[in-house]
Amino acid sequence: MSTTTYFIRGASLAGGEPSDLLLIDGRIAAIGADAGTHEAANTAEVIEATGLIALPGMVDLHTHLREPGREDAETVETGTRAAARGGFTAVHAMANSTPVADTAGVVEQVHNLGQRSGWVDVRPVGAVTVGLAGERLSEIGAMADSRARVRVFSDDGICVWDPVLMRRALEYVKAFDGVVAQHAQEPRLTEGAQMNEGEVSAVLGLAGWPAVAEESIIARDVLLAQHVGSRLHVCHVSTAGSVEIIRWAKSLGINVTAEATPHHLLLTDEMVRSYDPVYKVNPPLRREADVMALRAGLADGTIDIIGTDHAPHPSEAKDCEWAQAAMGMTGLETALSVVQHTLVETGMMTWADVARITSTTPALIGRLGDQGRPLALGEPANLILVDPAARWTVDPTTMSTKGRNSPFAGMELPGSVRATFFHGHPTVLDGALATPRPYTGVPA
Q: In whole numbers, what is the pLDDT of the chain averaged over residues?
A: 96
User: What percentage of residues in the chain have a pLDDT greater than 90?
Assistant: 96
Cα separation, 208 vs 196, in Å, equals 5
Is 309 assigned a ligand-binding role in the annotation?
Answer: yes
Q: Compute the distance between CA of residue 337 and CA of residue 420 in angstroms, rounded to an integer.
A: 15
**pLDDT of 128-152, one tens digit each?**
999 999 999 999 999 999 999 999 9
The reply to whether the predicted model has a pTM over 0.95 is yes
Rounded Cα distance between 444 and 118, Å, is 9
- Is residue 382 marked as binding? no
Q: Can you point out the beta strands (E) in 84-183?
A: 88-93, 121-124, 152-153, 179-182
Of the candidates 278, 277, 281, which has an alpha carbon nearest to the alpha carbon of residue 321?
277
Helices 104-117 and 76-86: angle between axes, nearest 10 degrees: 60
How far apart CA 441 and CA 444 sit, in angstroms, is 9
User: Which pLDDT tens digit goes with each residue over 301-332?
Assistant: 999 999 999 999 999 999 999 999 999 999 99
Q: Is 423 within any annotated ligand binding site?
A: no
Distance between CA atoms of 155 and 220, rounded to whole angstroms? 17
In the chain the domains, ranked by start, together with CATH numbers, are 5-54+380-433 (2.30.40.10), 57-366 (3.20.20.140)
Is residue 2 pLDDT above 50, yes or no? no
pLDDT at 1: 38
DSSP for 86-108, written as a single string: HTEEEEEEPS-SSS-S-SHHHHH
Catalytic residue among 102, 155, 290, 309: 309
Residue 66 marked in a binding site: yes
Q: Is 127 exposed, middle or buried (0-12, 13-18, 19+ CB in 10 A)?
A: buried
What's the average model confidence in pLDDT over 261-270?
98
- pLDDT tens readout for residues 166-202: 999 999 999 999 999 999 999 999 999 999 999 999 9
> How far apart (Å, rounded) are the C-alpha atoms in residues 52 and 49?
5
CB distance 153 to 140 below 8 Å = yes
Rounded Cα distance between 256 and 16, Å, is: 31
Identify whether the C-beta of residue 134 lies closer than 8 Å to the C-beta of residue 183.
no
Q: How far is CA 398 from CA 159, 312, 318, in A?
A: 34, 14, 18
Any known ligand binding at 236? yes
For the question of residue 269 being annotated catalytic, the response is no
Residue from 108, 58, 116 nearest 83 by CA = 58
Residues of the chain with pLDDT > 70: what percent? 99
Q: Which residues contact 147 (CB under 8 A, 6 or more apart)?
A: 108, 111
